[in-house]
Amino acid sequence: MLRKMLGIDKWLVTSGSWGTTLSLAYGQMHPQAWLGFVLRGVFLGTLYEIDFFLYGMRRFSPKAHFDVIK
């Protein structure tokens, strides 16, 4: 809607983390509307990624992990 409102036919989509998942979904829904993607820190929401985010990160930052789950 924003792209059309601004009168842009095609644009470069950039995003990070969870936004990469949204950008890829947008790209699939509107293949005619993008020139390309610049994606960083890709998070696709797979079971492995969610498990790592919730539990695996404590190996690298135990204090931050336990502060979040309190």
Residue type, 58: R
Between CA 21 and CA 31 the distance in angstroms is: 15
Overall pTM > 0.75 = no
Look up the domain containing 12 and give its range: 2-69
Give the helix, strand, coil percentages of the chain, each rounded to 5.
50, 20, 30
Answer yes or no: is pLDDT of 39 > 90.
yes
Determine the pLDDT at residue 66: 72
How many domains does the chain contain in total? 1
Would you place residue 7 in the very low, low, confident or very high pLDDT band (cuts 50, 70, 90)?
very high
